[in-house]
């Protein structure tokens, strides 16, 4: 895992604003249970690339994993708004499924 993380960090140095690289780093840190670093990268995506819809689903899942339920609900809700605005049906369905467990 650390080899992949090193490779991603090298890519990040070359293209710090590439949303895919930022997303990949967030996922890799999350897999390594380095939640603070993962959270930093997910939040950067939400801030700098708000239309990168996959972020909301995974950030919400991380918030759930670290027992921050209200933040999870809020980020899922925000992601639903973005996905609807962009007509991203796939992201909308995933986010709706994740969000709906809080509304039952």
47-93 pLDDT, tens digit per residue, is 999 999 999 999 999 999 999 999 999 999 999 999 999 999 999 99
Give the CATH fold of the 2-100 domain.
1.25.40
pLDDT for the residue 103:
80
pLDDT at 104 over 70: no
Residue-level pLDDT at 58:
98
Per-residue pLDDT band for 2 (boundaries 50, 70, 90) equals confident
Q: Cβ(8)–Cβ(20) under 8 Å?
A: no
Cβ atoms within 10 Å, residue 27: 17
| CA gap 9, 72 in Å, rounded | 27
User: What three-state secondary structure class fits 15?
Assistant: coil
In a 13 Å sphere around the CA of 48, the CA atoms on its Cβ side amount to 14
């Amino acid at each position: 895992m650390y080899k992949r993380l090193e490779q991603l960090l090298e890519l990040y140095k070359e293209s710090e604003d590439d949303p895919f690289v930022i997303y990949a780093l967030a996922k890799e840190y999350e897999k390594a249970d380095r939640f603070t670093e993962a959270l930093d990268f997910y939040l950067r995506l939400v801030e700098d690339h708000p239309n990168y819809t996959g972020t909301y689903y995974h950030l919400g899942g991380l918030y759930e994993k670290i027992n921050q339920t209200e933040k999870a609900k809020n980020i899922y809700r925000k992601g639903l708004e973005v996905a609807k605005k962009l007509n991203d049906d796939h992201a909308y369905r995933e986010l709706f499924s994740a969000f709906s467990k809080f509304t039952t």
